[in-house]
Amino acid sequence: MNERRVVVTGIGVVTPLGNDLPTFWNNCKNGVSGIDRITAFDVADYDCKIAGEVKSFEPAKFFKNPKDVRRTDRYTQFAMAAAKMAFSDASIELEKMGDLTRFGVVIGSGIGGLKTLGDQHTTLMNKGPGRVSPFMIPMMISNMASGLVSMEFGLRGPNFATVSACATACHAIGEAWRMIRFDEADAFLAGGAEATIVPLGIAGFASMKALSTRNDEPQRASRPFDRDRDGFVMGEGAGILVIEELEHARKRGAHIYCEIAGYGLSADAYHMTSPLPEGEGAMRCMQTALEKGGINLNEVDYVNAHGTSTGLGDICETKAIKALFGDRAKNGLIVSSTKSMTGHLLGAAGSVEMAVCAMAIRDGIIPPTINLDNPDPECDLDYVPHTAREKKVRVAVNNSFGFGGHNATLVAKEFVG
């Protein structure tokens, strides 16, 4: 099993910072905020009026059949777009790929078709059960993105969806990695998609007091590790990666962004929405991922933090990093949270942030944590405030932690043939 190496050969993203990889990465490394006042619906009566919306998205460009746009939720549309861009980026020619039962799809969503659920509930209440759409269920369920993407390309390998809140996309990529390592498949489209900037989504998270209400300064609202943070900012979008077994990629002359070296997962078993106070579950998750990859702590250059801009979350992740890395945490280890720019993409966060790690390794640029004006005294690491930093990245750690105590970590490293 350990001899099968897994590499990233294609990346597709749809995000508040851009609907393609070059635009997204350029804005990310330049510290651009994708957060503004919500335009999708009237927010006059809502406590939170801001989010990281995907702009100028044209779903019809990504579906063979125009009718499928009306038959899919926005989260599935994001997933299809990102999958097609990843496929193109990987220069895959299906007729040359051989046995498509060895090519799988794992695309998750933390919540799924929330807009569909809300719209159809309104229809039920106003017009009666006979007017509910026959497409409601397939549009709403969280596995439909994975299913439709497999149908679009004829990929008949392992196919399922992960649903683990904000750890969803990391789990999707990690489980695909595991199946390649165990020789159950040779390639995957893997990642996550989310579209919850809808009335029910904003109202629900706001009622938990989880969202920032810095409505007058939307671009300054997401501020991980800052003492003035007041909650996370909702984002939406998708990130899909093509990952392959190394020899499979080599045989077709694929460009390789990086190698996925390790994957760790754990449970806090503590609270529905709060992390363990000392970050033990997150620490154990990172430790497992590094051990699986055979990575020494001193080899890690960059941690793309979960860093949501919540009071407890940022402190607990900082404690977890310090507990695991010891002196290294303050001596050469660099941490940043790109959620400061994108907002929190929930079930898509881990895969979009895996794209960040791949690009950081490729270009030797670590994106910043913007809005970090006054660091929380309990958040005392090097978080790359305001401006990106040029630095060779040999190994990057990507953290995602979700409601329910779900923790997932992926480790990417520079590919060396």
Same domain, 267 and 164: no
What gap in Å lies between CA 352 and CA 98, rounded to an integer?
Answer: 29
Same domain, 313 and 371: yes
Task: List the CATH number of the domain containing 361.
Answer: 3.40.47.10
Same domain, 227 and 165: yes
Longest dimension (CA), the chain: 64
Beta strands in 278-343 (DSSP E): 302-304, 334-336
| pLDDT above 70: residue 1 | no
DSSP per residue, 33-98: ---EE--SS--TT-S--EEB---S--GGGG-SSTHHHHTS-HHHHHHHHHHHHHHHHTT--GGGS-
Quick: pLDDT tens for 134-172.
Answer: 999 999 999 999 999 999 999 999 999 999 999 999 999
Same domain, 246 and 176: yes
Same domain, 199 and 293: no
- How many domains, the chain? 2
In this prediction, residue 66 has a pLDDT band, given cuts at 50, 70 and 90, of: confident
Tokens of 152: 């679009």
State pTM to two decimals: 0.97
Sheet containing 103-108, strands listed edge to edge, beginning at the edge strand earlier in sequence: 159-160, 103-108, 187-194, 237-245, 6-14, 258-267, 406-413, 395-402, 302-304, 334-336
| pLDDT above 60: residue 31 | yes
What gap in Å lies between CA 19 and CA 405, rounded to an integer?
Answer: 31
Same domain, 149 and 15: yes
Quick: pLDDT tens for 356-396.
Answer: 999 999 999 999 999 999 999 999 999 999 999 999 999 99
Whether 257 maps to a domain, the answer reads no
- Domain with 202 in it: 6-251
Select from 251, 273, 297 the last residue of a domain: 251
Same domain, 122 and 240: yes
R_g (Cα) of the chain, nearest Å: 20
Instruction: Provide mean pLDDT across the span 245-272.
Output: 97
Whether 258 maps to a domain, the answer reads no
Same domain, 329 and 406: yes
Tokens of 345: 């993409």
Residue 2: per-residue pLDDT = 56
Same domain, 295 and 238: no
Enzyme catalytic residues: 166, 306, 344
Whether 18 maps to a domain, the answer reads yes
Same domain, 274 and 389: yes
Instruction: Provide mean pLDDT across the span 56-82.
Output: 95
Same domain, 243 and 333: no
Select from 228, 251, 274 the last residue of a domain: 251
Same domain, 133 and 278: no
Select from 251, 281, 304 the last residue of a domain: 251
